[in-house]
A and B are shown apart, each in its own frame.
Chain A
Amino acid sequence: MSVADFTGDARAFWAATRKEWRILRRYPGSFLSFIFWPIALPLAFVFQAQAFSGGRADTAAAFAARTGTNEVAGFLFVGWATYMWLSIILWGPGTSLRTEQIRGSLEAIFLTPASRLVVLIGPAVSQLVWAIWIFGIVGIAVWVGFGVSIGPLEAVRALAVIVVGVPALYAIGALFAAVVLRFGDASALVQAVRGVFTALCGMSFPIVVLPDWAQTVALTLPPTYLIADLRAVLLSGSELGRVIGDLGILAAMGAVLALLAIAAFRNTEQYARRGGRLAQY
């Protein structure tokens, strides 16, 4: 690849990000819907936890021993906020590609000399907007509702964790995008994977309560590290140095998954180019 191609693709990448962001902010209703759910969903689990624990000191202590924090509400809110953001990311690339396919713009993009990866990865950056929005809502909710204060330093650390986690999560989404281009739909697969993540990655519980085999599986899934590290920096005051090992694993997973996604996407593009599926809807 020449220098001109590289700089051209870099510009195209930012243009794709900007385009996504422009479209996103022209649907303000979607932001409003993500005010309600990040509060309502974890709140139900907070009340459930209160009912199960009976407000006793020994159950609270047991919770703190297993999770490293005594902030039950914060624990649940961070878990479910991650889940919601994860859902957006998992659906994002596939939905975006399918929308481009239906709109006919996928062919228009593929007619340009820009790298195919631009269209696949470019919108990823706009997913950070959702992360900031959802975690911002959650931060305000736990502060106002439960007195859990998250300072700017913790917020910056959380953002760093999110940035490290984006490649892995987005690569999983990109794998679904390849499935969409191949089969036209990936809903069933996305639902199944989302279910596995919910059951194993500790959205609403610490993974130590899982059976040993399930914990082993959980440790192979990127969201497990993401959720644990977000809780550590937001609720337990951990510095990034204390979670650096996890972040390294997360980054490595991201690199492997990204390579897989790129290979899958290239392979599927070839298939679409042979069968004329780029414009099928």
Chain B
Amino acid sequence: MSLAIEANGLTKDFEKGRRTIWQRLRREPDQRETFRAVDDIDLHVAEGEVFGLLGPNGAGKTTTMRMLATLLEPTSGSATVLGHDLVRGARDIRRRLGAVLAGERSLYWKLTARENLEYFAALYHVPRAQTAERINQLLEDVQLTDRADDYVEKFSTGMRQRLVLARALLPAPSLLLLDEPTVGLDPQAARDLRERVLQLRDEGRTVLLTTHYMEEADQLCDRIAIVDHGRIVALDTPDALKRGLHANEVVRLEVSAPEGSDPRLVERVATAGEVTQRDRVDGSLHLTVHCVSARDLVPLVIDAARSASGEVRNIQVLPVSLEDVFISLTGRALRE
């Protein structure tokens, strides 16, 4: 198996706060605290794979992406991207790399879509003879042919994001990095973009994407690394990650019972499944339970509620999702 990305012990530290020019001139010791954004990550992404980094905001996904895109130097660790060392072979990597990082802000609004692509085609060293044809094809692929000669300032967010994707595809990249590609897009535009990602996989390209939308990761990715506090806490296929929970169903319960009965009630529910979340909201106990069978759990919960002089007010039975995997691994929800 050839690897598009091979990272070992990748770590990135940032300094918090600032050091004034005066402090520098006086050669005062640097007393800034260090914040570890990415902590000793190992990542092996096969060629032709769609690989997802899933995690909440601030988990270290974007920092990892920027390091692999050669925009950030790692503090320690090493990585090979498309067969080139991340630091020494940065220019070689960039020849075969496409990236959507900053989204719609990174276009020239006073240039047309075509002019934007012409400029970047030159920066990507696309041969002159191929430039016009490639731009036309990409504009068609992202459905912007009819708006090719309009200024970007007149485009909607979705159109700009599509143009940014077209720009990333200009060098016909072997590896495409997509950082939160559907953030800010309306549902239709997001669906179109996901379909495009699947097409890219069918074309044999490797895609590394970050997202905090679990459905997106589930739908698109061959494998997913769940990232939290800069570390990979789990890495596998979406199905394997879900299977790892040892549960087939997730049951969300709302039980109205006196507050003092909570420990006993939870203890009884725990005999039929794993209680992963427990909150009291407006006088009711809210529980999330991972279980093998809701059919076995629900009668037990109803009986337990009755014993505590309460009643079950709401039951939701759901299939296991990546969100549940995340909660199980980190103890908190993805969007917290």
CB within 8 Å for A113 and B71 given contacts A19-B115, A107-B106: no
Question: Is there a chain A Cβ closer than 8 Å to B194's Cβ?
Answer: no
Question: Is there a chain B Cβ closer than 8 Å to A278's Cβ?
Answer: yes
Asked if B110 and A113 make an inter-chain contact with CB atoms under 8 angstroms apart, the answer reads no
Stretch at the interface among A9-17, A195-203, A229-237: A9-17
Asked if B123 and A104 make an inter-chain contact with CB atoms under 8 angstroms apart, the answer reads no
Question: Is there a chain B Cβ closer than 8 Å to A114's Cβ?
Answer: yes
| A86-136 interface with B by 8 A CB criterion | 103-105, 107-114, 118
In the assembled complex, which residues on chain A have CB atoms less than 8 Å from the CB atom of B122? 8, 11-12, 14-16, 114
Chain A: which residue is nearest B96 at the CB level?
Answer: A113
Which of B91, B108, B124 is in CB contact (< 8 Å) with A23?
B108
Minimal beta-carbon separation of B62 from chain A (angstroms): 10
Minimal beta-carbon separation of B112 from chain A (angstroms): 9
In the assembled complex, which residues on chain B have CB atoms less than 8 Å from the CB atom of A8? 122, 125
CB within 8 Å for A108 and B106 given contacts A11-B128, A16-B119, A22-B115: yes
Which of A9, A113, A276 is in CB contact (< 8 Å) with B66?
A276
CB within 8 Å for A276 and B14 given contacts A108-B102, A112-B124, A113-B95: yes
- A118-158 Cβ-contact flags toward B at 8 Å (1 or 0): 10000000000000000000000000000000000000000
Asked if B105 and A104 make an inter-chain contact with CB atoms under 8 angstroms apart, the answer reads yes
Asked if B14 and A275 make an inter-chain contact with CB atoms under 8 angstroms apart, the answer reads yes
**Please, how many angstroms separate the alpha-carbon atoms of A244 and B90 in the complex?**
43
Question: Is there a chain A Cβ closer than 8 Å to B325's Cβ?
Answer: no
| A33-91 interface with B by 8 A CB criterion | none
CB within 8 Å for A107 and B102 given contacts A22-B111, A273-B72: yes
| B150-204 interface with A by 8 A CB criterion | 167, 171
Minimal beta-carbon separation of A185 from chain B (angstroms): 12
Minimal beta-carbon separation of A239 from chain B (angstroms): 39
Asked if A110 and B71 make an inter-chain contact with CB atoms under 8 angstroms apart, the answer reads yes
Chain B: which residue is nearest A27 at the CB level?
Answer: B110
| B51-105 interface with A by 8 A CB criterion | 63, 66, 69-73, 91-92, 94-95, 97, 99, 101-103, 105
Which of A104, A114, A275, A276 is in CB contact (< 8 Å) with B103?
A104
Minimal beta-carbon separation of A57 from chain B (angstroms): 54
CB within 8 Å for A112 and B94 given contacts A12-B125, A104-B105, A276-B66: yes
Asked if A5 and B14 make an inter-chain contact with CB atoms under 8 angstroms apart, the answer reads no
In the assembled complex, which residues on chain B have CB atoms less than 8 Å from the CB atom of A18? 119
Asked if A279 and B102 make an inter-chain contact with CB atoms under 8 angstroms apart, the answer reads yes
- B110-147 Cβ-contact flags toward A at 8 Å (1 or 0): 11000100111111110010000000000000000000
Asked if A107 and B115 make an inter-chain contact with CB atoms under 8 angstroms apart, the answer reads no
In the assembled complex, which residues on chain B have CB atoms less than 8 Å from the CB atom of A16? 119, 122-123
In the assembled complex, which residues on chain B have CB atoms less than 8 Å from the CB atom of A23? 108, 110-111
Which of B101, B110, B115, B123 is in CB contact (< 8 Å) with A112?
B123
In the assembled complex, which residues on chain B have CB atoms less than 8 Å from the CB atom of A14? 122
Chain B: which residue is nearest A277 at the CB level?
Answer: B72
Minimal beta-carbon separation of B157 from chain A (angstroms): 14
In the assembled complex, which residues on chain B have CB atoms less than 8 Å from the CB atom of A114? 122-125
In the assembled complex, which residues on chain B have CB atoms less than 8 Å from the CB atom of A273? 71-73
Chain A: which residue is nearest B72 at the CB level?
Answer: A276
Question: Is there a chain A Cβ closer than 8 Å to B107's Cβ?
Answer: yes
Minimal beta-carbon separation of A12 from chain B (angstroms): 5
Question: Is there a chain B Cβ closer than 8 Å to A32's Cβ?
Answer: no
**Please, how many angstroms separate the alpha-carbon atoms of A115 and B110 in the complex?**
24
Minimal beta-carbon separation of B17 from chain A (angstroms): 12
CB within 8 Å for A111 and B118 given contacts A15-B123, A23-B111, A105-B107: no
**Please, how many angstroms separate the alpha-carbon atoms of A279 and B66 in the complex?**
11
Could you list which residues of chain B lie within 8 angstroms of chain A, going by C-beta atoms?
A: 14-15, 63, 66, 69-73, 91-92, 94-95, 97, 99, 101-103, 105-111, 115, 118-125, 128, 167, 171
Extra pairs beyond A23-B110, A111-B97 (13, CB < 8 Å): A16-B119, A19-B115, A26-B110, A104-B102, A104-B103, A108-B102, A108-B120, A112-B94, A113-B171, A270-B73, A274-B72, A275-B14, A276-B63
